[in-house]
Amino acid sequence: MDLTYTEEEEEFRARLRAWLAATLPGLPPRPDPRDWPGRRAYDTAWQRRLYDAGYAGLHWPADAGGHGATPTQHLIFLEETELAGAPYVGANFVGLLHAGPTIAAEGTRAQCSRWLPPILRGDEIWCQGFSEPDAGSDLASLRTRAVRDGDAYVVTGSKIWTSHAEVADWCELLVRTRPVSADVPGHRGITWLALPMNAPGVSVRPLRTLAGTTEFAEMFLDEVRVPAAHRVGEENDGWRVTMVTLSFERGTAFVGEVVACRRTLRALAEAARGNGRWDDQEVRRTLGRLNAEFTALWRLTQWNVSEAQRAGGVPGNSGSVFKLRYSHARQELYDAAARVLGPGGLDLSHDWTADRLSSLSYTIAAGTSQIQRNIVAERVLGLPKGR
């Protein structure tokens, strides 16, 4: 049980910190959240700076153009950038954390050299076309169909919850290439394709969330031709191709968010001391309990990263334990914020009120808490599958 960092890790941290201190003041102002082209430009410019400074694709393998950093270095990178208030990965998210690693692991040499460098340089951004209106928790039931026609697939269907679709260059798309039947379970007939977002037949419609914003979009595909050369992995093997990357998760997925929550918690305490709510024992102790909660979540992150560092890749199972606890804790954090704000909790001008609305998705997105509990019960605890 060692929580001290090696000399090498501390050096890495110090260099990064110095670079952030020198770089951040020179950044342009953040764009309006509704200005998608502005956001793309801002996020990719930041990615370019990371690239130039040698931080792009930190955790990617060296032969994919990355730096092969350890999970611990990645943790340090995410912690320090969050602490410094650096821009988020934003529009580069899918490329850097999902599509890119998938291509690196399963793509051909040609595919790697076509798609990876532009991701690292911030030249191209990717979005994700996995979920469908009728395939949410049950992703394997997806219905968007692709039919082979010569050297292309013809794709028809619709996708949902696609972030940055309006400004993405590419979409990592899961399509059904073999119909489900008694012999073919849902996850067997799926194929992974790289869809150029400017292909004829692709249309995008912003999806308004309950927070009133349009962070997501729906995507409609009407006989879109995707070259067969854009297929990563074998036909009908897309489920495995995708899961390869999911199991590549190294315990760092929520590092920035946990750091941010701890900062928010301190700000809440300060606000409560300022507006008198601190004198309410219930409010005060609720903040105290959340302090225990987020400290533990930080330690749990360090635990998972340590496991990943040695064992190579955290099984998604510890990820489920973490996500269950974290998503509920984060919702409680914003419930606590509402109690601190009192009537002000109804005012959307407070970031915490807007964040409270966004936090409602945490127990749903990327696997509902119900699905996560199934995973923990069946895969970690070994309880029998239900019928």
Partner 1 sequence: MDFRLTDDQRALQEGVRKLLEGRFGRERLRAAVDGPGVGPEASLDRALWRELGDAGFFALRLPERDGGVGLGLPEAVLAFEEAGRALLPGPLVATHLAAATVPGAATGERVVTRVDGELVEWLDAADHVLGNAAGAVPVRSVDPLTPLHRVPGAAGGDVPEPDAVPAALLTAAEQLGSAGRTTEAAVRYAGEREQFGRPIGSFQAVKHLCARMLVRTETARAAVYGAAVTGEAVEIAGAKLLADDAAVRNARDCLQVHGGMGFTWEADVHLHLKRAWVRAERWPTEREAAELLAAALR
CA–CA dist 236, 329 (Å, integer)? 39
To its own copies, the closest distance from the beta carbon of 296 in angstroms equals: 22
> What residues between 9 and 38 interact with its own copies by CB under 8 A?
none
Nearer to partner 1, 67 or 350 (CB): 350
Q: 129, 363 in Cβ contact below 8 A?
A: no
Q: Does 384 bind its own copies (CB under 8 A)?
A: no
Yes or no: say if 92 and 125 are a contact pair by the CB < 8 Å rule: yes
Q: Does 387 bind its own copies (CB under 8 A)?
A: yes
260-299 residues near partner 1, rule: CB under 8 A? 265-266, 268-269, 280, 282, 284-289, 291-293, 295-299
Give me the catalytic one of 7, 249, 257, 378.
249
Looking at residues 258 to 287 of the shown chain, list those that interact with its own copies (rule: CB under 8 A): 280-282, 285
Shortest Cβ distance from residue 330 to partner 1 (Å)? 14
Q: Candidates 89, 300, 333, 340: give the one binding partner 1 (CB under 8 A).
A: 300
**Encoding tokens for residue 274?**
């300022």
Q: Which of 310, 327, 330, 337 binds partner 1 (CB under 8 A)?
A: 310
Stretch binding partner 1 (CB under 8 A), from 85-93, 105-113, 225-233, 363-371: 363-371
* Residue 137, both tokens: 């928790």
SS3 222: strand
Binding site partner of 131, from partner 1, its own copies, none, Cβ cut-off 5-8 A by kind: partner 1
Residue 337, phi then psi, degrees to nearest 5: -60, -40
Minimum CB separation from partner 1 for residue 322, in Å?
8
Instruction: Please report where in the chains the tokens 């290439």 appear, as a residue.
Output: 177
Please list every residue from 8 through 47 that binds partner 1, using CB under 8 A.
Answer: 9
Please identify, among the stretches 37-45, 91-99, 117-125, 366-374, the one whose residues bind partner 1 according to the rule CB under 8 A.
366-374
Among 92, 158, 242, 353, binds partner 1 (CB under 8 A): 353
Task: Please give the Cα distance from 48 to 57 (Å, whole number).
Answer: 11
If the CB atoms of residues 150 and 386 are measured against its own copies, the closer one turns out to be 386
Q: What angle do CA 345, 346, 351 make, to 5 degrees?
A: 60
Number of C-beta neighbours around residue 37 at 10 A? 10
Q: How far is CA 124 from CA 116, 160, 192, 344, in A?
A: 9, 21, 19, 41
CB of 254 to partner 1, least distance (A): 13
d(CA 255, CA 79): 6
**Residue 338 CA, distance from chain mean position:** 26
CB atoms within 10 A of CB 339: 17
Active site residue 249: yes
Are 52 and 26 contacting, i.e. CB atoms less than 8 angstroms apart?
A: no
Kindly tell me which of 123 and 257 has the beta carbon lying closer to partner 1: 257
CB of 123 or CB of 307, closer to partner 1 = 307
Q: How far is the CB of 386 from its own copies (least distance, A)?
A: 8
Catalogue the active-site residues: 249
